Amino acid sequence: MSLVTKPRNSLKIIYPEVKTAYFAEKVKTAEGVTFKEIEKGILEEELYIVLETAHLQDGHPIKVVLFQYLETDGKVLLKNTKNEELIVSVGNYKGKGGTAAQAIGKVTIGMEDSSDSYYLQLQKANNLYISIAVDAEIDDSIDYEVSYNLKEYMRNYKDAPNLWYNGDKKWFELKKKQRAPWMEIAIAEAQKAKGVKESETPLKEMVKKYHTYVGHPKYSHTIAWCASFINWALNKSGYNNIKSTASQGILWKEGNEKFKKIDKPIYGAIAVFTNYRTSNGKATSFGHVTFLYGKTKDGKLICLGGNQGNRLKFSTYKDRGITSTFYLSSVNEKVNQKFNGFYIPKDYTIKESDYLTEKDITTLTEANKKIGLTKFKSSKNESTR
């Protein structure tokens, strides 16, 4: 015979609590809006801070403070450009993607001053990490304790339980906004090429690499490679390309499926040029493709590409009229090269930061210095083959 004993009545103390805090992005779904936790963020883009709470009254205010961790292991409070505290309240996004127990705040974090409603300014650093501090007892009239991170705050204050992403490689990482990711790859390749001619090492081996990617491993630098380079760089950055050596391929059927024409140029846009016979003005199936880097003060395009004076470098072009005239052996006569349009991969989403600004106005000399080319000067009628 077994004995059954009744459990003793026990008193369970329920603390109001902030269970966790995390960064999120707002996601639109067929059912509506929701907030999805993210591991990394992008500078200058909106972030949401989501606090999961329990046993806090609807509308209860919570103060949120963000800190930046510096490479020196220092910690600094982020500066708000409008001197406002970020106060969120429980249930403030209820019916707008949040739950009754969540407190959600929107914030933008950048490196420079901004007029945005709630904008936090970071100090300059190579690695950008931030943490979240939460205070649910901002009103002195509240006489109860709040627990954080499933801990009783007053009894665990040495562990800083009201801090999230608090060191030990647990920071929230912010990535610097990247304009046209393929440009970083293209510029790095130009730096490797060291300004040498395509017939010289290391560029001749690099050209073979570009041709190999588009399916022509036996091609050498004697075959036009501007399109091979463009497609190789796009592929390296994970974007649409057509694996072609044809500079005009973007204008053809397969190109129309992978690329779209844009009216307003952006950093990294693919500038397409077409060669026209000087004898009758008719277009040939040849031309040039290159990446837009910036502009000169007088409005010329500064572009980075291959086959530009038989090198991988920056050159200038006009976006109207004849940009250059040269002899083209493939058609056995002189041709006029004219601008055709700007294109981008269809799977790339243009950001406001992609558009050219005054910061993108420079000189050809300064651009080529970026890739270590200091002495070479482009000719007025530079051949692109």
CB-based burial label for 318 (10 Å; 0-12, 13-18, 19+): middle
Residue 307 Rama label (left phi>0; alpha psi -120 to 50; beta): left
Q: What is the pLDDT of residues 23-73, one digit of tens each?
A: 999 998 888 899 999 988 888 888 999 999 999 999 999 999 999 988 777
Q: How many angstroms separate the CA atoms of 221 and 192, rounded?
A: 16
Residue 116's pLDDT is what? 73
Q: How many angstroms separate the CA atoms of 220 and 228, rounded?
A: 11
Q: What is the pLDDT of residues 87-106, one digit of tens each?
A: 999 999 999 999 999 999 99
Query: Residue 368 CA to chain centroid, in angstroms?
Result: 23
Last residue of a domain, one of 145, 175, 205: 175
Whether residue 347 sits in one domain with residue 220: yes
**Residue 226 is assigned to a structural domain of this protein:** yes
Tell me the CA distances in angstroms from 253 to 250, 286, 287, one per residue in order: 8, 16, 17
Which helix (H) or strand (E) segment holds residue 183: the answer is helix 182-193
Whether residue 264 sits in one domain with residue 196: yes
Instruction: Please count the structural domains in the chain.
Output: 2
- Mean pLDDT across the chain, nearest whole number? 87
CA angle 214, 347, 48 (to 5 degrees): 140
Average pLDDT over residues 320-338: 93
Whether residue 213 sits in one domain with residue 314: yes
**Residue 273 is assigned to a structural domain of this protein:** yes
DSSP secondary structure, 160-173, as one string: -TTEES-STT-PEE
Whether residue 214 sits in one domain with residue 153: no
Residue 114's pLDDT is what? 74
**Residue 337 is assigned to a structural domain of this protein:** yes
Whether residue 186 sits in one domain with residue 162: no
Whether residue 198 sits in one domain with residue 81: no
Per-residue pLDDT band at 136 (split at 50, 70, 90): confident
**Residue 24: which domain range?**
17-175
3-state secondary structure of 354: helix
Whether residue 100 sits in one domain with residue 31: yes
Q: How many angstroms separate the CA atoms of 102 and 24, rounded?
A: 12
Whether residue 190 sits in one domain with residue 161: no
The whole-model pTM stands at: 0.64
pLDDT at residue 3 greater than cutoff 70? no
**Residue 376 is assigned to a structural domain of this protein:** no
CB-CB contact of 245 with 216 (8 Å): yes
Whether residue 187 sits in one domain with residue 146: no
Which of the residue ranges 86-100, 105-119, 248-262 would you say has the lowest mean pLDDT? Answer: 105-119
**Residue 4 is assigned to a structural domain of this protein:** no
Q: How many angstroms separate the CA atoms of 161 and 154, rounded?
A: 10
**Residue 5 is assigned to a structural domain of this protein:** no
Q: How many angstroms separate the CA atoms of 315 and 317, rounded?
A: 7
Whether residue 132 sits in one domain with residue 199: no
Whether residue 224 sits in one domain with residue 156: no
Whose CA is closest to 13, among 192, 169, 162, 144?
144
